[in-house]
Chain A
């Protein structure tokens, strides 16, 4: 009825004596105000022709004003007045409705969810708490035709951002038929808060009014007995709804009544019915304080707010990182179940510091929560707690505290496995998450037998005071445990890596095949097809994003070019493909599997700079003299035709082979020569060369099982390519920063705080060496000097330790930060430009560079520093998670490898010494493992731990860092979920501790390598 979108709302201020002239039939009629719609009075239906636009003379009750008081930041009280317009053009969204003039409907006519309780078709209206707690159920494909009221949506938005996001995702999904009804602005469903009524009560009433309106509205001849059902768990609300004649069910009752899918019951979140349980068992945990006291406490300094990080190794210990003034953070240690007080990894908590004399040192014990679910006595726990508390001197003691309240829960669905229950028919089970920092969760399920050997997902619902474990519910099953597919799925889910197939919307933005370079492309690009360009990559690489060339100019200088795949030509800003890539952030490389950031057509074909095909590139071309000084730099979009795709080894062979003198080889030699100079200069400036062991699996081509593994070798050509990539990145960083000083996407690597170097210093001192860590240059120099005679591997070990002292390099937006320095590379400015196929940051940098050379146009989000900053946060998060996922994947494949190899004896070095264990690194496999000295069942050997060394005396033998040991490696699959590599000591021989040298098991399979 509002045909034009300008709703002009006019009413009269004139008093009754001066009322304007109405059309004759309206004057004196029963209505006091004139309602004209589309030039027609909606009461008298008389058409008035001289009005061309549509005016709605609203009745005076269509405008409400919302007044409320708000506390301001400075503590004052502010009165806020807002207008609130009511409308009569909000439609019900149902197919059966003939009254509403809606263009498209969401809710289906035959909305059939078969249920015992309600046999006729019905629409569901959940209230806020049902949405908040039972979002897992709502997400099920079975639940369709749901009306989400605006009141509910707003409350959910206010109370939980993650649930709000999930709810919005459901609403957007067409097959779910979720309709949002803007009841707060609807003329008939808006209600005002009554005096003395709380905000919650008002909202409940608003929901009831809306449901009532729907029932009446849809109660027409065509409706076929269609019902509207209110779903609530609130007893009071339910009673009131029944009083006013609404159809209302409790969530549990309704879900249980569903005929189609009885498994859905398992997904119901357990509502903690405090009254029922409180008598049944004793209270285990202290109460959480109310929010008001927490706020006062934090302001007054008695409580500290921070993020709770559970310890990976010890389930009774955790740290809370408290953000202090500015940059500094303090760590507070929490020990013991009581002090952890139901906080779960990643929650934001309030902690209270204990008195100084109760402070403890972080224990170096490795403790796993492995006891049976049933035993409720706490004696064992207390003993363990006692065992942890060592009498440490004052220096080692750290601030210690206890959790007094949880400010924000940060629960997500957890992957893991069900523990087998002692009683077969029991419906209550314990679930062990894959992440060891998360406690076990108690769930109720009737399909336990089927789920036992499977990996499942479980969400936490709550953690009552009298329960040893949090309560949760089953979400879905991922597949059989130990299965390679399932395990990969688990590690992708646990690391939040988006890995679904690309949607049709995303694929629709791909270029149409067959694709070729058009004359329009050629017109705006430099034609570099004649150049001798080649690419050098690891073997088996299909997403080639960089290629190089080098030629001698007439003046004796060199022209060096780095050509990068022009991905930003194919991915245009703002479309679905771009958004998907921005969300994924990076390609994730797992062993034997790659999770692409962009669809394969781009990553392995159109963008990949393969040899002997014409490809679009973004080139950075320098003129350099023979001392590798840059004379001139330019950037251009280009077309190239790579002459060869080489592996590092092939390129190295060509350079070394004096018989070869073709263009490609000469070009490589030129590059290699310049790269050496560049590298030397960079190291002189203080760039660090660190070390970490990377392993490569040889994967069986059919079964995809790992059959051999070797550490990656580095050749001269690796560093050649790396040098030019660094050079390109630095040049581009400078260019885009000059152009976009406020919003350039850069990468920085902060210098680590001095305390990070403690381990390194201690380690070096044990060999009588000193490491200077005042600057990157000093560190690099002293690492070079650190050599021990007869121990060639020492230097590598030291570099591995140094790597662990470093901070994480991060992306940031230049307008939001002032410190750009890259510590590791000793460069004042740095960014990522050279791998746009696998990193989204590079795509952004490409776009900025394209704008700054006038090759492409700018777009709004590119210059918005807040959006850039948000993007950087996502990229950093994805980058971190992808690294963790890669490590987890390597670990999983290492296990598979040792499973097939049986028991192996290897030499290794001690990397760290703990209170009851040593951590050993096996250089051959790049593998790290823990050798435990205490034993669960029997009394262990005598252990004396020295904090200062650090050293550990086992019986008579003293273990120190860097000691060489011999261990046997085998797979411990006693716990299916946490299969781990078990190492036991072989040499030095300690009676009662070390094991005899076992026979090396026969190889399970003849290895056939596919390199």
Chain B
């Protein structure tokens, strides 16, 4: 049996998108009342929740305290029901730990931690349904949650996964497309600074530039959507508070 045709001659992908098109993104901020900030995002069939606590005093071991800036603590987990086959360990495995570290690095680059010395910011993300681009969706969710918490950031952190099929870069991969070489990019779109760039597949260097360009464009696309979401949320909130 032939494998999946990821990109047809007519330029359509498995789900009907063109190479540079993103999946449908829906997001909502302030989904939980008790956390300082929270957000829910759906990017196609990938769904994630992000919750932010802080900045608050250091909890647990105090010796991690930094005197010039805040410590960012990230925890990534996947719901047991998030994949087609039920998973036993939702967090704490190597993949989740690695993902937590990546998230931490990403947000240390974006959050203005120097404003909160000797304090801690907790970011918890949970993937409720996984269909490709888990890291990117979590970053986008966490960004919204941080904004919801009112923590100052240099810019939105927008992330997107891109892949490379038939000499063509594909933006925002779904699970079926993720099998080949895929690259995840977290970008601060306004200045075009890269917060995190990760790829663990083989790719010839000649293709890297095209792939990076596609990733940047995709991230900027995501940032527009996130911006829209934030503005709408503020509008709603201000209507409710009667201003």
Q: Which residues of A contact B (CB under 8 A)?
A: 5-14, 18, 20-21, 53, 58, 63, 65, 76, 78-87, 150, 154, 157-158, 161, 164, 168, 171, 180, 182, 184-185, 858-860, 863-864
Contact = CB atoms under 8 A, between A and B. Distances in A.
Contacts of A860: 204, 206-207
A58 B17 CA distance: 14
A860 B209 CA distance: 13
Interface string B192-210: 0000000000101011000
Nearest to B19: A5
Contacts of A80: 84
A150 B10 CA distance: 10
Given A8-B225, A63-B24, A80-B84, A182 B8 contact: yes
B26 A10 contact: yes
A863 B22 contact: no
Contact of A13 (B2, B28, B218, B235): B28
B16 A185 contact: yes
Contacts of A63: 24
B21 A5 contact: yes
B154 interface: no
B221 interface: yes
B82 to A, nearest CB: 12
B176 A82 contact: yes
Contact of A182 (B5, B12, B15, B28): B12
A79 B131 CA distance: 12
Contacts of B5: 154, 157
Interface string B226-243: 001000100110010000
A84 B24 contact: no
Given A8-B25, A150-B8, 6 more contacts: A14-B232, A18-B236, A83-B15, A164-B2, A168-B9, A860-B204
Contacts of A7: 17-18, 21-22
A21 B26 CA distance: 18
Contacts of A18: 236, 239
Given A171-B9, A185-B12, A78 B20 contact: no
Contacts of B27: 13
Give the residue among A6, A63, A859 with the most B Cβ atoms within 10 A.
A6
B105 interface: no
Given A8-B224, A10-B228, A859-B204, A82 B15 contact: yes
B89 to A, nearest CB: 19
A13 B26 contact: yes
Nearest to B203: A860
B45 interface: yes
B69 interface: no
Contacts of B93: none
User: Nearest 9 A-B pairs (CB), nearest first?
Assistant: A860-B204, A185-B16, A9-B24, A85-B16, A7-B21, A83-B15, A6-B221, A5-B20, A78-B84
Contacts of A864: 202, 204
Give the residue among A14, A76, A81, A83 with the most B Cβ atoms within 10 A.
A83
Contacts of A83: 15, 23-24, 44-45, 131, 174
B85 interface: yes
B14 interface: yes
Contact of A84 (B1, B9, B15): B15
Contacts of B8: 150, 180, 182
B28 A14 contact: yes
Interface residues of B, number: 43
Given A79-B84, A82-B174, A860-B206, A11 B16 contact: no
Contacts of A150: 8, 10
Contacts of B236: 14, 18, 20
Nearest to B167: A860
B217 interface: yes
Given A83-B45, A157-B2, A9 B22 contact: yes
Nearest to B131: A81
28 contacts: A5-B18, A8-B25, A8-B224, A8-B225, A9-B23, A9-B24, A10-B26, A13-B26, A14-B236, A20-B232, A76-B85, A78-B84, A79-B84, A80-B84, A82-B15, A83-B15, A83-B23, A83-B45, A85-B16, A85-B24, A87-B16, A157-B2, A164-B2, A182-B8, A182-B10, A184-B16, A860-B207, A863-B204
B22 A6 contact: yes
A7 B25 CA distance: 11
For chain A, what secondary structure do more than half of its interface residues adopt (helix, strand, loop), or is it mixed? mixed
B163 to A, nearest CB: 15
A10 B217 contact: no
Contacts of B22: 6-9
Contacts of A11: 24, 26
Contact of A65 (B17, B45, B85, B218): B45
Nearest to A168: B9
A171 to B, nearest CB: 7
A385 to B, nearest CB: 38
Nearest to A184: B16
Give the residue among A13, A157, A161 with the most B Cβ atoms within 10 A.
A13
A85 B228 contact: no
A81 B24 contact: no
A63 B236 CA distance: 26
Contacts of A182: 8, 10, 12, 16
Given A83-B45, A180-B9, A6 B20 contact: yes
A182 B206 CA distance: 32
Nearest to B171: A6
Contacts of B221: 6, 8
A131 to B, nearest CB: 16
Nearest to B2: A157
A346 to B, nearest CB: 19
Contacts of A5: 18, 20-21
A58 B25 CA distance: 12
A8 B12 CA distance: 16
Contact of B224 (A53, A154, A157): A53
Contacts of B28: 13-14
A863 B205 CA distance: 11
A158 B18 contact: no
Contacts of B228: 10
A21 B231 CA distance: 12
B171 to A, nearest CB: 8
Contacts of B10: 150, 180, 182
A860 B2 CA distance: 24
Contacts of B20: 5-6
Contact of A9 (B14, B25, B40, B176): B25
Contacts of A79: 84
A87 B17 CA distance: 9
B45 A81 contact: yes
Nearest to A863: B204
Contact of A10 (B24, B131, B176): B24
Interface in B154-190: 174, 176
B61 to A, nearest CB: 39
A83 B26 CA distance: 14
Contacts of A85: 15-17, 24
Contacts of B15: 82-85
A23 to B, nearest CB: 15
A616 to B, nearest CB: 25
Nearest to B14: A82
Nearest to A9: B24
Contacts of B206: 859-860
Contacts of A154: 5
A859 B204 CA distance: 7
Contacts of B9: 168, 171, 180
A10 B45 CA distance: 14
Contacts of A78: 84-85
A644 B230 CA distance: 80
